[in-house]
Amino acid sequence: MSERIVVKIGSSSLTSEEGGLNRESISFFASELASRHRQGDAVMLVTSGAVAAGFRQIGYTARPKIVHEKQAAAAVGQALLMQAYQEALSGYGIVAAQILLTRADFSNRRRIQNALMTIEELLKQRIIPIINENDTVATDELVLKFGDNDNLSALVAAMTKAAKLVIITDMDGLYTEDPRKNPQATKIERVEQISEDIMKLAGGAGSSVGTGGMRSKIEAARVAMRGGVGAFIGKVQLDGDLTRAVDGSGRGTYFDTKLHSLPMKKQWLGFHSVPQGRITVDDGAVTALLVGGKSLLPAGVTATEGDFHPGDVVEVVNSQNEVLGRGVVNYATWQLQAAAGLSSEEVTRRVDVTRIEVVHRDEWITLK
């Protein structure tokens, strides 16, 4: 049965430690992608490697650290990267398309909807979309953006309602300890819930070429799972490894989910929107939001932070400052400050608002 899959390949899998593209690696991954494509899968590739591919061409002796130098390297490297993929995939009769995205695209509902429509049309035409972050125009420092595209791949998988996200790394899954340091470390075959204990097992970045370590990959798996997409983190180094990863017998760790894919609106709220403020609530409101499936009312609000207006997205936290979720607020900051802790009846007498709910349950997503 054909599936919709997102494959993420990092810089260290595509380039040498000294920089520049490894054509043999790209040829191998093209073969693996083509194999799934022949089986009828709708394949999407999220790739890193633009900066690593381009910095030697510019004349830098090492991967640059200054933002404008990284952006210059990405401008050169992105063209080289796409050319390499297109040449490799064309040997299998496959057309590749380039899509460059930024966080700003995801935070704008219209722009990300347009991106989704483009991807859907490409898949309909049996074209493989090759997605990367638009490093040359991104305003944040590159190392702080998508975590070596791990997070980007999870967002794309959730947005396109993929069946599986395959994150390729040089480790064959998640271990109880670093197996390179402790041979007695045990591999974790399957994860159904990403707890804080699971997060603590992840280390830092793995190489000087890439920027994402196991932690960013687990965080990406959590985003994918929350969006109803199962994930695989592991090795794809031998012929057929990608098929094995998709089919359930891969060399890595599987992150299973029982959640259903989220509607686009909920995805935008939870993963793409930029909160304009923060609302602290009491224990009663926590229970109502997380257990009762209720709307947030003024009576449960204890504090506000930021300058928000009706229609803005806000984070909601408990008294320990733990994020519970996000929602579209119906109050301006000054209105909510005046209404906080009051009964709904009292609020209608004191504050002129169009809706009594601070955040309606239909405009809310739980993240805890």
pLDDT tens per residue, range 312-324: 999 999 999 999 9
348 is in an annotated binding site: no
Q: Does residue 216 have a known ligand-binding role?
A: yes
Q: Does the annotation place 105 within a ligand binding site?
A: no
| Domain CATH for 259 | 3.40.1160.10
User: 61 among the known binding-site residues?
Assistant: no
Check whether 211 is labelled as a binding-site residue: yes
Is the domain of 234 the same as that of 312? no
| Residue range of the domain that includes 110 | 4-265
Q: For 36-88, how does the pLDDT look when each residue is reduced to its tens digit (9 = 90+)? A: 999 999 999 999 989 888 888 888 888 888 888 988 988 999 999 999 999 99
Question: Rounded to an integer, what distance in angstroms lies between the CA atom of residue 216 and that of residue 167?
Answer: 11
Residue 215 assigned as binding residue: yes
**Which of 97-101, 159-163, 209-213, 300-304 is predicted with the least confidence, judged by mean pLDDT?**
209-213
Among the listed residues 140, 110, 35, the one whose alpha carbon sits nearest the alpha carbon of residue 273:
110
- Tens of pLDDT along 357-368? 999 999 999 987
174-220 confidence digits (pLDDT tens):
998 888 888 888 999 999 988 888 888 876 444 444 434 788 899 99
Please give the tally of structural domains in the chain. 2
Q: Using one digit for the tens of pLDDT, what is the confidence trace for 227-248?
A: 899 999 999 999 999 999 999 9
Claim to verify: residue 194 and residue 281 sit in the same structural domain: no
Residue 205 within a domain:
yes
Residue 170 known to bind ligand: yes
| 307 within domain boundaries | yes
Same structural domain for residues 287 and 210? no
- What is the model's pTM? 0.83
Contact 52, 117 (CB under 8 A): no
Instruction: Give the tens place of pLDDT for each residue, 117-152.
Output: 999 999 999 999 999 988 766 555 433 355 568 999
Asked whether residue 135 is marked as a ligand-binding residue, the answer is: yes
Q: Would you tell me how many other CB atoms lie within 10 Å of the CB of residue 113?
A: 13
pLDDT for the residue 146 = 55
